[in-house]
Amino acid sequence: MPAEPLAPSVVEMRGITIRFPGVLALDGVDFTLRAGEVHSLMGENGAGKSTLIKALTGEYPIDEGSITVGGAARIFRGTADAQNAGIATVYQEVNLCANLSVGENVMLGHEPRRRGLINWKAAHAEAARHLANLGVYIDPRSSLASHSIAVQQLVAISRAMVIDAKALILDEPTSSLDRGEVEQLFTVIRSLRESGVAVLFVSHFLDQVFEISDRLTVLRNGKLVGEYAAAHVTRAEVVSAMIGRELDELTAISSSAERTIDRDAAPVLRATDLSRKGALEPVDVDVYDGEVVGIAGLLGSGRTELARLLYGADRADTGSIQMHGTAKRVTSPHNAIENHIAFSSEDRRAEGIVGDLTVAENIVLGIQARRGWLRKVSRTERDAVVAEYMTALGVRPADPNALTRNLSGGNQQKVLLARWLATAPELLILDEPTRGIDIGAKADIQRKVAELSDRGLSVIFISSELEEVLRLAQRVVVLRDRRKIGELTSHDTDVDALIAFIAEGNPAVQENVA
């Protein structure tokens, strides 16, 4: 696409395909990293970012495609292969030895030796030199743990320079840094770029991505959406590339968004000033009877955090919750379930299903948890509930005794939905219920949500697919950088306006606030 002469490529990945059981994690993705550039990899959760990075660091073997580093084709059999090829990685969680000194960490495995023994004096001197190159002046003999995460990250980068990395991968390096520390890191990244290192930068902070990057690659659902020069693309374009505009086969459902909601009665749920340090600034949310409230915002905008606070999965620092006008204290998930609030997490495998239990056991788990251990759900009751919801949601295979971990993602999601519907909730919070599942299951779940809200269930619907949010929700709460920036009525807005609002907080759109 760009006409200007390009620097030589350091890493070329062509047609990378990686399959996990039942999922195509990467589907023929091309990715090029050039010398002396900062290249951001963008995409929502499940887009394939981390899978692509793990293919490049040798953590996952690739099923198809090729990786070329510095002109030579490589097959990585492990992370050591990738490191030897000159690819260094600095993770969000610093992967250094906290109990060793700074110098030991920097030089680990490359200590200068004299007659077979490590020359510690030379090692520390060399470590100090590498650190100074990055503008870090700390005592290499001090313990690593005595330094802040920011400094530890710089130490990790110096370590990458010791092994003479040609490509440096920074995976969410700024997520736990403050503004000043980010500046320091960016200065280092810029000087590395000057010296010809190729930097692959991953962050969900849009501002930072645009500040530091020369080039962007966007992935969605395991596929390459496109490569862009950062100077020639707007934020809105990137956000819309990340979120996607899939062809609408689901218009039949869209009537849901047009329903009028009676907002005279007390809301089913009213949260006021809900906040938690480091997760969410104070937010107000109302959900009325039979209403679907969408929550839109990018990953890290606070949408999951808000859901977890409403459900009591995390303790709120401030704020109060009312249900039907009565104050409630929701301090634990058990508490929430007793108050007829249900929450389906975005991380289906880790926080949703109990994989080694059967489908039937997973479905009744919610009811059983509410009743406590003494009053067991009887066999007949269980069979009735399980049969009802498996049929209603079309769980496949239709075998209640199948182990849940063997089901596809879409069917696991249906099992979770069944678990929550079986508890007869008044408010159902769904966090990314359609992520990573095929279009058929997606449509099933959307249809079910529309149908249930028609019958009076209140739903909070969180999704990074904005079309889905606008299709189902009557009202959309927009979050950005952990605060609520406004509310839109779906009726008066479209995906473009919503994207603009999320990306820029566009005041023109804000006038539409209900």
Partner 1 sequence: MMRILKHRLTWPIAALLVLVLINTLSRASFLQVTTLNGEFHGSLIDILRNSAMLMLVALGMTVVIATRGIDLSVGAIMAVSGAVALTFIESSPTPGDLSTVAIGIVLGTLVALVLGAWNGFLVAVLGIQPIIATLVLMLAGRGIALLITSGKITTINSPPYRFMAQGYVFGLPFAFYVSIAAVVIIVLLERRTALGVLTEAVGINPVASRLAGVRSRGIIWGAYIASGALAGIAGILYSSNIMAADANNAGLFIELDAILAVVLGGTSLAGGKFSLAGTVIGVFTIQTLKTTITFIGVPPAITPVFMAVVVMIVVLVQSRRLRSGVARLVRSVRPTPPARPDLEVTP
Instruction: Tell me if the bond preceding 397 is cis, omega within 30° of 0.
Output: yes
176 binds partner 1 (CB under 8 A): no
380 binds partner 1 (CB under 8 A): no
384 binds partner 1 (CB under 8 A): no
379 binds partner 1 (CB under 8 A): no
* Torsion, CA 338, CA 343, CA 348, CA 353, rounded to 10: 20
Determine the 3-state secondary structure of 319 from DSSP. strand
Tokens 């009028």 found at: 260
Q: Which residues contact residue 241 at a Cβ distance below 8 angstroms, ignoring those fewer than 6 apart?
A: 42, 218, 220, 225, 226, 228
Distances (CA, A) of 185 to 55, 177, 266: 25, 9, 50
356 binds partner 1 (CB under 8 A): yes
Distances (CA, A) of 365 to 338, 344, 355: 14, 13, 12
Q: Which is nearer to partner 1, 175 or 358 (CB)?
A: 358
Q: Binding residue for partner 1 (CB under 8 A) from 7, 98, 125, 354?
A: 354
Q: What is the 3-state secondary structure (H, E, C) of 170-183?
A: EECCCCCCCHHHHH
Please give the structure tokens belonging to residue 378: 């009887």
Are 140 and 128 within 8 A, CB to CB? yes
Shortest Cβ 355–partner 1 spacing (Å): 6
28 binds partner 1 (CB under 8 A): no
497 binds partner 1 (CB under 8 A): no
- DSSP secondary structure, 328-380, as one string: E---SHHHHHHTTEEEE-S-IIIII--TTSBHHHHHHHHHHHHH-SSSPPPHH
371 binds partner 1 (CB under 8 A): yes
36: left (phi over 0), alpha (psi -120 to 50) or beta: left
Q: Which is nearer to partner 1, 125 or 398 (CB)?
A: 398
Shortest Cβ 356–partner 1 spacing (Å): 5
Shortest Cβ 11–partner 1 spacing (Å): 23
376 binds partner 1 (CB under 8 A): yes
175 binds partner 1 (CB under 8 A): no
397 binds partner 1 (CB under 8 A): no
Distances (CA, A) of 382 to 360, 365, 385, 400: 8, 10, 5, 10
State the binding string over 50-89 for partner 1 (x if CB under 8 A, else -): ----------x-----------------------------
Give the range of 62-70, 278-286, 352-360, 386-394 binding partner 1 by CB under 8 A. Answer: 352-360
Q: Binding residue for partner 1 (CB under 8 A) from 5, 21, 180, 278?
A: 21
Shortest Cβ 308–partner 1 spacing (Å): 9
Distances (CA, A) of 339 to 148, 309, 333, 368, 488: 42, 14, 10, 15, 28
374 binds partner 1 (CB under 8 A): yes
Shortest Cβ 365–partner 1 spacing (Å): 5
Shortest Cβ 127–partner 1 spacing (Å): 34
Residue ranges of alpha helices (H) inside 27-140 are 49-56, 79-84, 102-107, 120-133
Q: Which is nearer to partner 1, 154 or 377 (CB)?
A: 377
429: left (phi over 0), alpha (psi -120 to 50) or beta: beta
* Torsion, CA 126, CA 131, CA 132, CA 138, rounded to 10: -100
For residues 209 and 191, what is the distance between their CA atoms, to the nearest angstrom? Answer: 17
| CA-closest candidate to residue 286, choices 273, 270, 309 | 270
- DSSP secondary structure, 118-129, as one string: E-HHHHHHHHHH
Determine the 3-state secondary structure of 112 from DSSP. coil
425 binds partner 1 (CB under 8 A): no
| CA-closest candidate to residue 8, choices 42, 37, 30, 28 | 37
Q: Which is nearer to partner 1, 32 or 368 (CB)?
A: 368
Q: Which is nearer to partner 1, 88 or 377 (CB)?
A: 377
372 binds partner 1 (CB under 8 A): yes
**How many residues sit close enough to partner 1 to count as binding (CB under 8 A)?**
36
365 binds partner 1 (CB under 8 A): yes
Shortest Cβ 354–partner 1 spacing (Å): 5
Q: Binding residue for partner 1 (CB under 8 A) from 361, 444, 465, 467?
A: 361
Residues 301-340 within binding reach of partner 1 (CB under 8 A): 311, 313, 332-334, 336-337
State the binding string over 111-140 for partner 1 (x if CB under 8 A, else -): ------------------------------
Q: Which is nearer to partner 1, 218 or 429 (CB)?
A: 429
Q: Binding residue for partner 1 (CB under 8 A) from 204, 215, 276, 419?
A: 419
Residues that bind partner 1 (CB under 8 A): 20-21, 25, 60, 311, 313, 332-334, 336-337, 343, 345, 350-357, 361, 365-366, 368-377, 406, 419
